[in-house]
Structure 1
């Protein structure tokens, strides 16, 4: 997975993205690009909702919590 927070960086799966976003100020959302098992790519936003709490939002599907979808698609 790649997390884009001013500078693109590789992270260790969704957990790595969530950890990075927890380290930035509340209210920040960071685009995350991941590759599905079928080889296609997709992007979601990991949002720092409140101190220590992040959520995964998918603007294309309108899901406010797409965590399960990302984990199922990537197997990570």
Structure 2
């Protein structure tokens, strides 16, 4: 394919609104970055669910480090 380099594509001056501002076409996809608080809330919910499942499975409260009623018998070990 032959390419004529003697001409180039350009934007007509009438299409340029402000010569001092260079802009790019707006992106139709908007990225929504969550706030730190939203991230913390998201993981807090999942952490609570995770702790509840472990407490139910092992009859032990890992937050307060206390045994709960259930099928396992917990004995405190001193190091």
TM-score (norm 2): 0.19
Q: Which has the higher strand share?
A: 1
Higher relative contact order (CA 8 A, sep 6+): 1
User: What TM-score do the two structures reach when normalised by structure 1?
Assistant: 0.20
Q: Determine which structure has the larger helix proportion and give its number.
A: 2
